Chain A
């Protein structure tokens, strides 16, 4: 009888250890993986706090601000919400819908005193990826909500 109880204990312990380590894995990975979204105004206001953290900034590519370094794919542009502006650098090919005067979300880090260094640029295109937004209506809606959130 005792051996049976021991066995049960052993089994339950195994399950707990496996389950516990899985839970630990999930939560430890989760806390570091959150990327917060900011408008340029917020990002400028909280710049010290955000220094070096991975964040997303969304706004419009300011018209006339897009400059390309000759012979490379390096670009520099301003992301604006009509109130504050953030200079952004990116090296690579931009998505189809990336244009001056269009909505954009950039993901990367912003070290104080430097340009925002983007590793990813999301234009409307990559959000479209979501089938619900694939209707024109959806695009209009998400644009609307972006504009709203910018206000």
Chain B
């Protein structure tokens, strides 16, 4: 019953999406506002209908309606309610529906929020989003339908993959999708600006919050994924340069480039074409990310080819989007002449330019590494993989370069600066940074890149603090405030600037985490019998006993391990090896003790013979800093979002 309601409302939404695509065009062509109003109502209706459709699919899960193929494949009677409800996005059909529902929600919000403020762009924004919704709904309805029924329903479903039965994995896709989908709105505004020949900065101001929001969601989604990989997959790491991770990382990089370069357009009226290029690229990469992950192309090009309808459709959709966007950009780029020009390499705009070069190079690196194997596999029979060393080799210098630029950020002025002034500004921070690089090896950071990163972290921290202190002092004297009062006034007056600086500080915390965990992880593989001990770092671990435990849909072997360290309370760690009853696939549950200094991470392997078990034990310094740092980043972005539309703008 529910699934028919869901299916039916999706079909109506599909028709309304066609209306949403066409009605605004009619309205603009014959100057009839009523058609644009119709489109706006259609956008609201589509959102309501797809909400109903998603609810219907979730209801089918909750009712254990195994006559629905998608439910039978992704749930079972034993699956707990929480995972039943969220199994909706456990496979690609449902994920695509979730994606489309989010797009419809964002389009409705845009149609509501920007209706009065952006009357000229609105028809085009609606129409372009209508096209996107239509494209996705065609896919959902005809090629990747979660509504299919089974003629003979099974008594029980096949259960959700055990790896997905985890809160980290439940929240990872929705956040990622919110990030991907969110970029559709700025993209549509950018296209609308091009079509209506208003290539000026209005679209950037209009969509500032959208881009910040999308980028924050993408960040949360990526970090959730990394965190899940860290504690669920049992290999002690969090990032493997796997194509799926790469797919979400690319729009993150170009989105970050965009967030920086738009400031140049706002302030100095430069980089207009470049910003349009970046937003198109970011949205296209978001689509690519969705398709890469949700089409099956990654498991094998050949497996993908067994379902040619979907593959061809996705290729056509992507090509159409790219042709339309870049075609429009090329056709209209002559009216985007930039009057001011870069004046000096010692200017904020130039540092943003180099920052963009780094980020785009990073995105190209990932794109090459992700798509090259697919291309090779398609064009020849050879199969090839690109290993993590490639990415590490490229990304370590890129990250260091970005850090150096980040340090320049707050203190380098727009337009141009005299070298004498710069020397004076950066001398203290530079000295502290260099000292950091020299001292780092003495305190155990005996890696070149680690030492450079340490110095740069200090450099960036110093320039940011200098800026904060100086501006607080200015306010103290100018407005005769106390220090905390002045500081508060400062960071609440220009939320965008200080939100950005908070993001930078979060990044520093994260980089410290990367350095610690990437360069100083200790790993031991060994056997332990009951009563055996081992040492790792300052820890001493003893296998106390082996137990058996069970829950509703799994049973497990569990090791009880006592971990001790001088001067600290004794811990008990319980790593498990679970077998889920529905598909008898064993999964490891690592036991992790996390602290600000380091993580202790114990994985239980196979039992060899009479009570002897294999263990893999990691000691990873500073991993927790990555999660904390990303949290700080997200708070920073949200702080920046609170800034109203009217920014104090000085004449350039």
Residues of chain A touching chain B, judged by Cβ–Cβ distance below 8 Å, are 7-8, 10-11, 14-15, 18-19, 22-23, 25-26, 29-30, 32-37, 54, 56, 68, 71-73, 91-94, 96-97, 125-138, 141-142, 144-146, 148-149
> Is B300 within 8 A of A142, CB to CB?
yes
- Provide a sorted-by-A list of 9 A–B residue pairs whose CB atoms are within 8 angstroms: A26-B394, A30-B368, A33-B389, A36-B384, A37-B384, A73-B526, A94-B606, A130-B242, A130-B243
B38 contacts partner chain A, Cβ-Cβ < 8 Å: no
**Which residues in B have their C-beta under 8 angstroms from that of A130?**
242-244, 293, 298-299
**Which residues in B have their C-beta under 8 angstroms from that of A91?**
525
Q: Which of B364, B372, B385, B588 has the most CB of A within 10 A?
A: B385
> Is A22 within 8 A of B398, CB to CB?
yes
> Is B357 within 8 A of A132, CB to CB?
no
In whole angstroms, what is the CA distance A92 to B577 when docked?
17
In whole angstroms, what is the CA distance A88 to B176 when docked?
39
B625-644 with Cβ < 8 A to chain A? none
**Which residues in A have their C-beta under 8 angstroms from that of B91?**
134-135, 137
> Is A37 within 8 A of B586, CB to CB?
no
A93: contacting residue among B164, B353, B364, B614, CB under 8 A: B614
Name the CB-closest residue of A to B587. Answer: A96
List 17 extra interface pairs beyond A73-B614, A134-B163, A142-B303, CB under 8 A: A15-B357, A26-B368, A33-B369, A91-B525, A92-B616, A93-B525, A94-B605, A96-B585, A96-B587, A129-B233, A129-B240, A131-B244, A132-B244, A132-B296, A132-B299, A135-B90, A141-B296
Among listed B113-121, B126-134, B320-328, B340-348, interface-contacting one: B340-348
> Is A36 within 8 A of B383, CB to CB?
yes
> Is A35 within 8 A of B298, CB to CB?
no
B344-366 with Cβ < 8 A to chain A? 344-345, 350, 353-354, 357-358, 361, 364-365
Name the CB-closest residue of A to B342. Answer: A11
**Which residues in A have their C-beta under 8 angstroms from that of B357?**
15, 18-19, 22
Q: Size of chain B's interface in residues, with CB distance under 8 A? A: 72
B354: contacting residue among A18, A29, A71, CB under 8 A: A18
Q: A19-B361, A136-B161 are in contact. Are A30 and B605 (CB under 8 A)?
A: no
B332 contacts partner chain A, Cβ-Cβ < 8 Å: no
In whole angstroms, what is the CA distance A128 to B357 when docked?
34
**Which residues in A have their C-beta under 8 angstroms from that of B525?**
73, 91-93
**Which residues in B have their C-beta under 8 angstroms from that of A149?**
300, 302, 383
**Which residues in B have their C-beta under 8 angstroms from that of A138?**
296, 299
> Is A25 within 8 A of B385, CB to CB?
no
B608 contacts partner chain A, Cβ-Cβ < 8 Å: yes
**How many whole Å from B367's CB to the nearest CB in chain A?**
10
B268 contacts partner chain A, Cβ-Cβ < 8 Å: no
> Is A34 within 8 A of B384, CB to CB?
yes
